Amino acid sequence: MNHHLVVSQQSFTDPSTTSPSPSVIPPSIIPPSPTIHLKNVSSWNVDTLKKLHLTLFPVHYSDSFYEQVQNVGEFAKVAYLDSIPVGAICCRIEPELQQEGKYRVYIMTLGVLEPYRRRRLGHLMLQHIVDQAQLQPTITRIYLHVQVLNTTALSFYHCHGFQKVALARDYYKNIHDKDAYVVVKNITHGAPSSSSSSSNTDY
């Protein structure tokens, strides 16, 4: 797919606020060279993010989750193809428990609506987070939990340099498949990012 990427904080009229679900917009209406916008989450599009999450994930996210992602700037984004919301990535920043003054990025959610997958949208959102992490000298790594049976996501993260470092049994409480892998990508500053796993195991 040919496209242009625009990363910005500005808002524009959000058509999904008047439609019942972002997933009802068919991919057939996408123009041949759409522009991809990665927009910060704020009051104008937080309802769009909620609809995307309802469509994408079997987990309910709390009001405090949606408050939190409006305060992390570049670390939470809604992806739009032109003006159509098609995916989102939401992270939080956590202190490194064993390294004072250092931080890590935890990816809470990343998803692309099913009709829009395999068009590099997931890649663009993840790469944006990696780029942001590399800009911040205090950030050491990016990590997340991935359901053991989610082979698509495991392949996706593997091809982006993430490595499995732990198995978290019964990590998910309210869904059937409860086990998760912890996958990690170390962040290096001033050099190409490393794909090696971290020796730090406090997840």
Ligand X SMILES: CC(C)(COP(=O)(O)OP(=O)(O)OC[C@H]1O[C@@H](n2cnc3c(N)ncnc32)[C@H](O)[C@@H]1OP(=O)(O)O)[C@@H](O)C(=O)NCCC(=O)NCCS
The residue from 41, 142, 146, 182 that contacts ligand X (CB under 6 A) is: 146
The residue from 109, 186, 197, 198 that contacts ligand X (CB under 6 A) is: 109
- By CB under 6 A, the residues from 34 to 63 that bind ligand X are 56
Distance CA 105, CA 139 (A): 7
The residue from 9, 118, 137, 175 that contacts ligand X (CB under 6 A) is: 118
Active site residue 145: yes
Rule CB under 6 A: is residue 81 a binding residue for ligand X?
no
- Distance (Å) of CA 94 to CA 10, 97, 126: 26, 9, 18
Rule CB under 6 A: is residue 159 a binding residue for ligand X?
yes
Q: What is the DSSP string of 66-124?
A: HHHGGGSGGGEEEEEETTEEEEEEEEEEEE-TTSTT-EEEEEEEEEE-GGG-SSSHHHH
Q: Which residues bind ligand X (CB under 6 A)?
A: 56, 109-112, 117-123, 146, 150, 152-153, 155-156, 159
Catalytically active residues, by annotation: 106, 145
